[in-house]
Structure 1
Amino acid sequence: MTIPFPIHAQDALLTINTDEQPFVKNALPGVHVMPCFLDTENGVWVLRVQFEPGTVLPRHFHTGCVHLYTISGSWHYTEYPDQPQTAGSYLYEPGGSVHQFQVPETNTEVTDTFMAVFGANINFDENDEFMNVMDAGWIETIMLEAAKAQGIVPRYIKPKSTAGYSDEE
């Protein structure tokens, strides 16, 4: 067997150095986002995210799985206060899980994380009423609005959509 013909020819690697890219500050209150990969068509979002001490995200339901690595700081789920995630922790969240992310107010630094999310978060308020759907498209929209206000043009990998008919150019 010979090596297959490449379907997607590349002139260069698609790579992002997160130590060289700026964070979009307060894309959500207390949440600083650096997009790495946003695929709105397939619902995949890969982000480096920093959370300020005391940040609490809405309770949410995951439609897909999440891989989350904690670089520095600490956080925990409200439902699991005795299982804090600290520097070096890797967490796998299966699709269908429900929880609320929070960073202790006692943290003295931002909590720095890297996450790969598949699907969407269905967010709920404090009364468990539906708030919104957070997916790759929502993240991209919110992040780009905040970046524009800050004079930042984020650089991230975004697959080109190929939706359309084969006989159209």
Structure 2
Amino acid sequence: MFYENVATECIDDASIPWVPFAPYSSDVLLKYFKLDPIRGESISVLKAPAGTQMPKHHHTGTVIVYTLKGRWKYAEHDWIAGPGSVVFETAGSSHTPVMVPGDDDEVITFNIVQGDLIYLNENDQVIAMENWKTSMERYLAYCEANSLVPKDLTTFAG
């Protein structure tokens, strides 16, 4: 069978640069591990200073967030996610991420995002859209601006 020939890959975290989440924030950084045009999925690590509030957004697909460091929440919910917690976000949900100030000076999460993130203003009007393709554009622009050789993020090949 063909699946038996699919290579298992390992990506070295140090080989992937932290990319600023421009134009939204220069303090929020992303490491893109996989940007899948077939499934419309991105796999990344997000790092943000404690106390940061991200823009409100709407999901067209599901999102899974595993918290590695720090604490965060959604302004619309009572729970707070901390190290070791998993948050599952359903397609069609909207929320405003807030990095909770506390003992850690930053929040780091591992994210698997399917579909689009549609960013909304205070009147719930669309102001931007993010997905695997805009993430790829951001990554390639960062690599070019910093004289880095980009990796093929559409595959898990190291």
| Same fold by TM-score greater than 0.5 | yes
Give the paired residue count: 152
| Map of 1:13 onto structure 2 | 8
1:24 to 18, 23, 45: 18
Q: Aligned match of 2:137 in 137, 141, 159?
A: 141
Q: 1:71 aligns with which of 52, 68, 84?
A: 68
- Specify whether residues 49 and 151 from structure 1 end up closer, same or farther in structure 2 by C-alpha distance, changes over 3 A only: farther
1:34–1:47: 8 Å Cα contact kept in structure 2? yes
State the distance in 1 between where 2:101 and 2:15 align: 27
Q: Distance in 2 between matches of 1:156 and 1:114?
A: 20
| Contact 1:24–1:143 (Cα < 8 Å) also in 2 | no
Question: Structure 2 stretches of 5 or more lacking a match?
Answer: none
Matches within 5 A, 1:95-114: 95-106=91-102, 108-114=104-110
Larger Cα-atom Rg = 1
Equivalent position of 1:44 in the other structure: 41
Write the letter of the residue equivalent to 1:79.
E
- The answer to which of 27-36 and 64-73 deviates more is 27-36
**Deviation larger for 121-130 or 24-33:** 24-33
Shift of 1:105: 4.5
Please, which runs of 5 or more residues in structure 1 have no aligned partner? 160-169
Q: 1:156 to 1:15 in 2, by over 3 A?
A: farther
Per-residue deviation, 1:15: 2.3
Shift of 1:129: 1.4
Q: 1:126 to 1:151 in 2, by over 3 A?
A: farther
* One-letter code aligned to 1:110: E
Any idea what SS the aligned residue of 2:142 has? helix
SS in 1 for 2:154: coil
Distance, in Å, in 1 between the alignment partners of 2:144 and 2:50 is: 25
TM-score by length of 1: 0.78
TM-score (normalised: structure 2): 0.83
Q: CA deviation at 1:157?
A: 3.6
Change (3 A) 1:132 1:107: farther
| Fraction of identical pairs, as percent | 26
More helix by share: 2
Q: Residue 154 and residue 85 in structure 1: after superposition, are their counterparts in 2 closer, same or farther (change >3 A)?
A: farther
Following superposition, the deviation at residue 31 of structure 1 comes to: 1.5
1:26-49 per-position Cα deviation (integer Å, ceiling 9, x unaligned) = 233121111111012431100011
Alpha-carbon RMSD across the aligned residues, in angstroms, is: 2.2
Going from structure 1 to structure 2, the CA distance change for 1:57 and 1:153 (only over 3 Å counts) comes to farther
